[in-house]
Structure 1
């Protein structure tokens, strides 16, 4: 009756295929090819009632088939989400678009291929159900039911029930389960033609056709893709290729057009693709004429690409963030528009990259990356950013980082500092770093500014690591952290920082009854040379509406880098009078580029690191991160002078700092007996502890698909983050330390500290701390 969640984070890499097979089996499915069982990140939520099971599945590309069950004749009902699928039946292939229902017999030779990612809802009724209608539910071949009429009603109910599967009460869930089961017989009566049969040699021809489909998928962006090219790639004749598609009731041209339209449909519904124009998305899918694409899209889906994107943004708005969260706000997506990004990142000099690396260096090299407008990206991570520099494993690098809060007191934290002035330069005529976030460049949601502030951190980089490839692990050792002193002659040599109790803070809806919600900024002086380094508050002020140099009024702290005019606020002195805040210098953001999307909001952390906001990432500590893209693409930012666990008010003491790092690349083939041998999350090591990072959603980009950057804000909770931290620590103790599950749980209860890392970053965090002393006398 209660939901059964599944996440691959609970299992070591070697155990994930079997665990995923068990999940599929619970809804009547199996991997179509056993050795190709998905091994990467996967999640599922399942809920059952009297033999009726409903599940949402999310995983990487794969093909699934029926798990034979002669005891039941109820078909499976499968609803693909986000992207279409390829259905193989009776030796032929047909295409099922996202939103099309598939009725699948429990016995039969069929398979469903998810070419990009598996994102689907599955309804399974077993032989124990008290709601069986065997005579009505006879089905021998798969059927596809397009949206419209009764099929549309069933599809919407299936999707809606799945979205609320974990929050429905027991009576609500049982009623929904019975209703879905009772709808199946009527749905079966709809007319739908089964897949076309191929002629003799079915098995061989079907396998060849499947390979052709995969080749097309890989080359979809080639506008000149032709039958001759694909046939040559597979070593067959063009005539035979056409015969195979004809035998499947289609043609090469029709199949190629349908896949391109389905790809554009998925991307147009994805908020993470908001920075791409409709034309860019069309060209990326292989269309070379925007007018032709628009006509083809309208003919296929009944609306224009622009109308479809607008409708999808309104749909996503219903699951977007609550108003008290940064990132994609609740009303944000309702007016989403997109144009090409205007920010460009300077590529490193070719000679600098090729020259020194052309011959092996006898000693590790030291590099320096200064902070200026050409070397930072503000508010987002991207696999598409050109690296500012390339380093080798074992090299050290000094990276200057700036706080995005320096404009809270420009006189102390920007004036006279050439690097900071260059990054923050914003006048009526010029804004040196235009894009500030992963939102649309044209500020069509709120009119805040380019990027809309969906992501706020100034990140220096990225830094490419020579020979780094997906599957490797990058070890980042923090050798030193030095605060960036003021360059203003009036404050020369002194260090300052800012903390904002902001509208995204956990406290914001918990003010005392007689007070009105407000935002408060506190400016600190950092005394880092003292015997016991500390910060002391200088003054504070409540945020008042600020007008930026482009004339936009910011009633709240809603866009990074808006300069605060001293005359516009009322400073309050003698705040936190006499109190010393112990320093915990660290970097809030240490990230590698994620693989899932081109522009990723810098606020929610995940498996790639990012906005971890854990004060243990200070001098002398190390963080291990899994590499997802070639070169790793390391970025550092969000420097903090001090922060408490929880970061309750929304920020730490934000203070520009310079860090020196040693970067070590660990190749996947060299992981044996290493603490990071099974790494799929940020792992922190200090001199005394192992610190594992848990999140509400460990890989929200994969879990939620196209809507990940909005949905993560709406569903984060400490309960989910605690479960993730527990699962990861259990896995660490079992896989790395060799304990049994019972031993791991016993140890966690008495020797592992779980703490709230932060509750303000969209993807809430809980960390688990394991003291190294526990294993001082152990052999593991």
Structure 2
């Protein structure tokens, strides 16, 4: 009952194609001869038992075909989890929608192409399992496509749910599921074969003609007046022959057309990305021209009215996404991304000023280096998201230095100390009854239709300055960001002139939140700190704290919890407690929580979960004198910096660090893809931190959640993160680093990790949990290995 998880993070770039080929071959598949083996990020979970294998695959675009040397009486069963799947057979090409099962003969001239990303569940049964009922089943000579509904729907849902839980099922549970799938498969194939026997008893021409007819119907579902005569005319056959072909399948043209229209509306009503369309629009788009008739037909077929079905699906998805009790997208928040593509102009992301007004233009003749300055104001920040579509605020050359002002999103916890009198901060945080300077705060919908929190819904919270484009940066390059200096941003309020303040929040997304000694007293607490530099030993001390009380924002929305960034807190709305952490001095660890390049997979990405592109790393080692290396994914790299911290402990348990506005100076160096060999950052697919003494590798529960989960990634990552997954990722990356960069064998790498590498919990509050692995450079001081 072997469980075999796979991730491309374990392998160097050169080794990944062969490793992925091995994954496919274990379930009877191979890359098609016309395509190259996949090189990018890929994950797979496979579980086997006596000839039964169930696998959940996630990878980039590619095409697969049967492995000819693996014989079995049972077909492969493939369930696509996303749209964009094409099937090629001798009869031609066909698009396969999500929710349709493919029964694929072990031998034959077919291929399945994943046009965008490969996300699928595959069942392979090569022999009858022990104690299983033997059931004779007809051989499947041709590819069969089974739509939602009936026995096929039951079988598909069983496969999908089993695949989703493969890693958590006990051996006994997996054994029962594996035997059930193997028992049901012959029944399934026999059921498919019997109705089509008459049709297929002749030549392949009938099957090919029926296939074309179904494609024509699929393309013209929106035609409310579609008739057998129209379809027959389009395909150049008689209407009588068309009806005979459908009768040969045990169905009829009318029944097939109605069923496809119902299945189309079923899929659209349950799809979060269609939530902005009304039920009537969806019905008309599928060819129903009468709303009342559609509602009756839908209820008769599925047992619920369209409205009830859509509401049930939305509630189910929301409950699933928010089960972990953390920040993150409910699935229906994805609904408006396509209609509100890219960052909104309503977010006041203004066109940047000409470069000379934000660039000091100080040149270093010895290095041909220029220095730039990027101030923080409402026109130069993006709040709560990263985007490959954001226009750069400035473009710099490799080797240039740049000073970037950053603001903490928690400045409004005490506006008197951290906003008042500060022109840049006032510009960003200005929010009155009539105006909100930075409207979008998060990567969610602009009309706040899900929770009503505000534009962007707070799905992403960090104020990021930028982005900064690096000239000539292209995907595959590596960006080196050296942190030359970090300076705290002092208060501009005359009452607190020159003093520095910060805030931390023990919030509802914190790891502690369900662990209060008295459960009924669950609460959120804000602590305001002063940052001091007395006696050359900088530290923070608490000034006061208060518990969050329901706050009404300037637009009139009540926030019962700390659920939206930048809500202004007035002193009269909370009761301050001044005797907190009395006499305690907290050592400072100034660093930037967010250093990111733009991810390539999606256009609006929540700033909270970190991943391969950097982002919300929340590692205090990213301070003055350190360097972070990030893989470039989009032209220009699009570097953004934010989430400045004065101090943070590993774990960031309560939800935040001491959040404190700061200004950083960076040197940015571009390393081109062709010149990476022999460098510590060669073959980089993750954030790599270098300090004077250590290499620090960042591991995550899901190293590339956007690629692994696709469209649902920004919800799934919150629901499935764990320290176990993050630890495994950190281990795999350190093993790869020691083997491929330092030249050790696998046994040597594992031995060294156990005695000389420190693994630590970076954070457990950012949706995608982090574990870092620290390797001291001194370990290799006396070796000849690089």
In which range does the TM-score fall when normalised by the shorter chain? 0.7 to 0.9
* Alignment partner, residue 587 of structure 1: 592
What is the root-mean-square deviation in Å for CA atoms of aligned residues? 3.4
TM-score by length of 1: 0.85
Aligned-pair CA distance for 1:137: 4.2
* Alignment partner, residue 103 of structure 2: 103
Aligned-pair CA distance for 1:659: 0.4
CA contact (8 A) 2:442 2:456 kept: yes
* Alignment partner, residue 421 of structure 1: 426
Aligned-pair CA distance for 1:438: 1.1
* Alignment partner, residue 661 of structure 2: 656
Q: Which SS does the other structure have where 1:498 is aligned?
A: strand
Aligned-pair CA distance for 1:269: 7.3
* Alignment partner, residue 502 of structure 2: 497
Q: Which SS does the other structure have where 2:667 is aligned?
A: strand
> Is residue 321 from structure 1 mapped to residue 322 from structure 2 by the alignment?
yes
TM-score by length of 2: 0.84
Shift of the 673–277 alpha-carbon distance from structure 1 to 2, 3 Å rule, reads farther
CA contact (8 A) 1:463 1:634 kept: yes
* Alignment partner, residue 114 of structure 2: 114
Which segment is superposed worse, 744-753 or 313-322?
313-322
Aligned-pair CA distance for 1:321: 2.9
Shift of the 725–309 alpha-carbon distance from structure 1 to 2, 3 Å rule, reads farther
Q: 1:462 aligns with which of 467, 479, 488?
A: 467
Aligned-pair CA distance for 1:111: 0.7
From the CA coordinates, give the structure whose radius of gyration is larger: 2
* Alignment partner, residue 605 of structure 1: 610
The 1-side partners of 2:668 and 2:660 are apart by 24
Q: Which SS does the other structure have where 1:153 is aligned?
A: helix
Aligned-pair CA distance for 1:90: 2.1
* Alignment partner, residue 165 of structure 2: 164
Which segment is superposed worse, 417-426 or 570-579?
570-579
Shift of the 691–133 alpha-carbon distance from structure 1 to 2, 3 Å rule, reads same
Which runs of 5 or more residues in structure 1 are unaligned?
203-241, 244-248, 250-261, 280-289
> Is residue 372 from structure 1 mapped to residue 373 from structure 2 by the alignment?
no
Which segment is superposed worse, 163-172 or 729-738?
163-172
Q: 2:351 aligns with which of 347, 351, 354?
A: 347
* 1:538-589 deviation line (CA, Å, top 9, x unaligned): 1111111111111111111111000111011111112111111000000000
The 2-side partners of 1:265 and 1:85 are apart by 19
CA contact (8 A) 2:762 2:770 kept: yes
Aligned-pair CA distance for 1:312: 5.9
* Alignment partner, residue 775 of structure 1: 780
The 2-side partners of 1:615 and 1:267 are apart by 45
* 1:55-109 deviation line (CA, Å, top 9, x unaligned): 1000000000101245422110000111141111226222211111000111112
* Alignment partner, residue 179 of structure 1: 180
> Is residue 394 from structure 1 mapped to residue 399 from structure 2 by the alignment?
yes
Q: How does 1:120-159 map to 2 (within 5 A)?
A: 120-127=120-127, 129-130=129-130, 131=132, 135-159=136-160
The 1-side partners of 2:587 and 2:516 are apart by 26
Q: Which SS does the other structure have where 2:625 is aligned?
A: coil
Aligned-pair CA distance for 1:513: 3.1
* Alignment partner, residue 301 of structure 2: none
Q: How does 1:474-485 map to 2 (within 5 A)?
A: 474-485=479-490
The 2-side partners of 1:491 and 1:502 are apart by 27
* 1:678-715 deviation line (CA, Å, top 9, x unaligned): 10000000010000000000011111111111111111
Q: Which SS does the other structure have where 2:320 is aligned?
A: coil
CA contact (8 A) 2:488 2:662 kept: yes
CA contact (8 A) 1:57 1:119 kept: yes
* Alignment partner, residue 205 of structure 1: none
* Alignment partner, residue 704 of structure 2: 699
* 1:562-621 deviation line (CA, Å, top 9, x unaligned): 011101111111211111100000000001111111111110000000000000000010
Aligned residues: 709
* Alignment partner, residue 94 of structure 2: 94
Q: Which SS does the other structure have where 1:415 is aligned?
A: coil
Q: How does 1:402-417 map to 2 (within 5 A)?
A: 402-417=407-422
* Alignment partner, residue 28 of structure 2: 28
The 2-side partners of 1:725 and 1:416 are apart by 44
Q: Which SS does the other structure have where 1:36 is aligned?
A: coil
CA contact (8 A) 1:43 1:59 kept: yes
The 2-side partners of 1:728 and 1:132 are apart by 44
Shift of the 14–263 alpha-carbon distance from structure 1 to 2, 3 Å rule, reads farther
* Alignment partner, residue 62 of structure 2: 62
* 1:269-310 deviation line (CA, Å, top 9, x unaligned): 776x69x9669xxxxxxxxxx999974456699999999987
* Alignment partner, residue 285 of structure 1: none
Q: Which SS does the other structure have where 1:161 is aligned?
A: helix
* 1:414-462 deviation line (CA, Å, top 9, x unaligned): 0000000010000101100111111111111111111111111001111
* 1:41-60 deviation line (CA, Å, top 9, x unaligned): 00011111221111100000
The 2-side partners of 1:514 and 1:668 are apart by 53
The 2-side partners of 1:267 and 1:616 are apart by 46
> Is residue 636 from structure 1 mapped to residue 641 from structure 2 by the alignment?
yes
